[in-house]
Structure 1
Amino acid sequence: MTTGNNQHPMALQPRDAAKMLCISPRTLWEWTRLGLILCIRIGTGKRKTVLYSVADLQAWLAQHTGTTGGQA
């Protein structure tokens, strides 16, 4: 999901969000399930999409910078 041709995306799909955080998609999903990371759910049924706000991911990274042990 992009805001224009030369601009950064506003939200990422799970695989890209996991890459941004340098974690596996499975870890991202577990952290999402536990409420450690927020997601945006769009649509219903088979067409349901899960997205992660880039701003929320950046805020999460800033908040957790310097933690040890790789845990949130």
Structure 2
Amino acid sequence: MQNQARSNVLLVNAREAATMLAVSPRKLWAMTFEETPSLPYVRCGRLVRYSPNDLRRWIDVQRKGGDNDE
């Protein structure tokens, strides 16, 4: 039941997003606010949140090598 509720989450905080991407929260913050950010995020006032679906799509775009290498 908890996994089903977790899969319906629309936005996660920076710590959860960093865990999903297997990077440190500091690296996630740098990726979010670099000069030309490629990592999608949502601002909720001062809060920054990440969509798990956007993170999955971002990973697909970043993927290199193997069958996906062009």
Shift of 1:16: 0.2
What CA RMSD, in Å, does the superposition of the two structures yield over aligned residues? Answer: 1.7
Q: Which residue of 2 aligns with 1:28?
A: 28
Q: Secondary structure at the match of 2:4?
A: coil
Query: Residue 14 of structure 1 aligns to which amino acid in structure 2?
Result: A
Q: Which residue of 1 aligns with 2:62?
A: 64
Return the alpha-carbon distance in structure 1 between the equivalents of residues 21 and 59 of structure 2: 7
Q: Structure 2: 5+ residue runs without aligned partners?
A: 66-70
Shift of 1:66: 3.2
Return the alpha-carbon distance in structure 1 between the equivalents of residues 27 and 4 of structure 2: 30
Q: How many residues align structurally?
A: 59
User: Which aligned runs of 4 or more in structure 1 are off by greater than 6 angstroms?
Assistant: none
Return the alpha-carbon distance in structure 2 between the equivalents of residues 26 and 58 of structure 1: 20
Q: Structure 1: 5+ residue runs without aligned partners?
A: 68-72
Q: Secondary structure at the match of 1:10?
A: coil
Shift of 1:62: 1.2
Q: Which residue of 2 aligns with 1:39?
A: 41
Return the alpha-carbon distance in structure 2 between the equivalents of residues 64 and 57 of structure 1: 10
Deviations 1:1-53 (A, max 9, x none): xxxx933111110000000000011111101111121211112xxxx211001
Query: Residue 61 of structure 2 aligns to which amino acid in structure 1?
Result: Q
Q: Secondary structure at the match of 2:49?
A: strand
